[in-house]
Amino acid sequence: MSQDNLSSSHQHNPPVRVDVWLWSVRIFKTRSLAQSECKAGHVRIDDSAVKPSRTVKPGDVIRVRYPGYEKVLRVVYTISRRVGAPIAVTCYEDLSEPYPSYLLRGGVPHREPGAGRPTKAQRRELNKLRGYEKS
């Protein structure tokens, strides 16, 4: 479905269930996951928790909570069928803040039990990985 088909077929933008819309625009991988996130209270429309059956319409602001991060979306088009990623991003406007840098970093390094303290060479490698080494 091209952009022209999307805009012409969605002139009237009928209301759609919030769980279906979140799945259709690829915010969640499955519809049942979108449904369970709504039930858990991780999805809000206009700052109120919603049930999966709540309908969305163009102009609604949807907040999806992730651990340590919140995604804020404004509905532009309502669709009820899953579409490709290039078309899906045209159905909403992303109002979220940039992804926090602390979530982009890797986890804490793990050493096997009984491995002892790191040697000087291993410490230098760890510091280089962490970005502490001066150039």
Rg (CA), the chain: 21
Of 61, 59, 58, the closest CA to residue 50 belongs to: 61
pLDDT tens-digit profile of 6-27? 544 445 688 899 999 999 999 9
Q: Write down the domain spans for the chain.
A: 3-102
Helix intervals (H) in the chain: 3-9, 18-24, 31-39, 85-88, 101-104, 120-130
Q: What is the pLDDT of residue 134?
A: 66
Q: What is the model's pTM?
A: 0.69
pLDDT tens-digit profile of 66-108? 887 899 999 999 998 999 999 999 999 999 888 777 777 776 7
CATH fold, domain 3-102, is: 3.10.290
Q: How buried is 39 (Cβ within 10 angstroms: 0-12 exposed, 13-18 middle, 19+ buried)? A: middle
> Are the C-beta atoms of 73 and 90 separated by less than 8 Å?
no
In the chain, the N- to C-terminal Cα span, in Å, equals 51
Of 57, 7, 17, the closest CA to residue 38 belongs to: 17
